[in-house]
Amino acid sequence: MDIILASGSPRRKELLTQLGLSFQVLVSDADETVDKSPPPADQVALISRRKAEAVAYKAGPDALVIAADTIVALDGQVMGKPHSREEAFQMLSLIQGKTHQVYTGLTLQRGQQTQTHVECTAVTFRPMSWAEIKAYVASGEPMDKAGAYGIQGLGGVFVEGIQGDYFNVMGLPICQLGMALKSFGVEVMG
């Protein structure tokens, strides 16, 4: 069976490769806009389903599509990817010294069979100085990441602790993914 990752995220590609999976990438063109009133978990579930459906339609009924969507929320307020350095600075200023949540919606679809899961990980940032935030933003790393940081890169130096799946913070909860793959007949360790 063909496995298709419905994402252009280099982090998701890297994680699937580490699992030893052979897969193709077909980036979804699904509409990612949602009403901001539902809880963050509902938002990522909906967007990941849309992404999976859009790619499954193109890939055909025999392909297994893996789609994901990740957002960061602080006190229920969703933070997407920053559109400017100023917005990145603002996001980091808000989350520094606090605990926020990272939600990933994960959808697997093959033909008419679809599963959607949502993972939530709590991430605590240490207090950061304005100079640290400015230097991190200047590095460019925050610009393509939800919440304006990458835990696997320079942003990791600000993470005081996490509760939950570390890989979820990178954008793909691999424990949940491994269980879901198994239910579709794909063994990661077998």
Positions annotated as catalytic residues are 69
For residue 65, which amino acid is it? V
N residues, the chain: 190
> What CA–CA distances, in Å, run from 130 to 7, 20, 36, 74?
33, 41, 29, 19
Query: Is-contact 141 149, C-beta < 8 A?
Result: yes
User: Residue 22 and residue 42: Cα distance in Å, rounded?
Assistant: 30
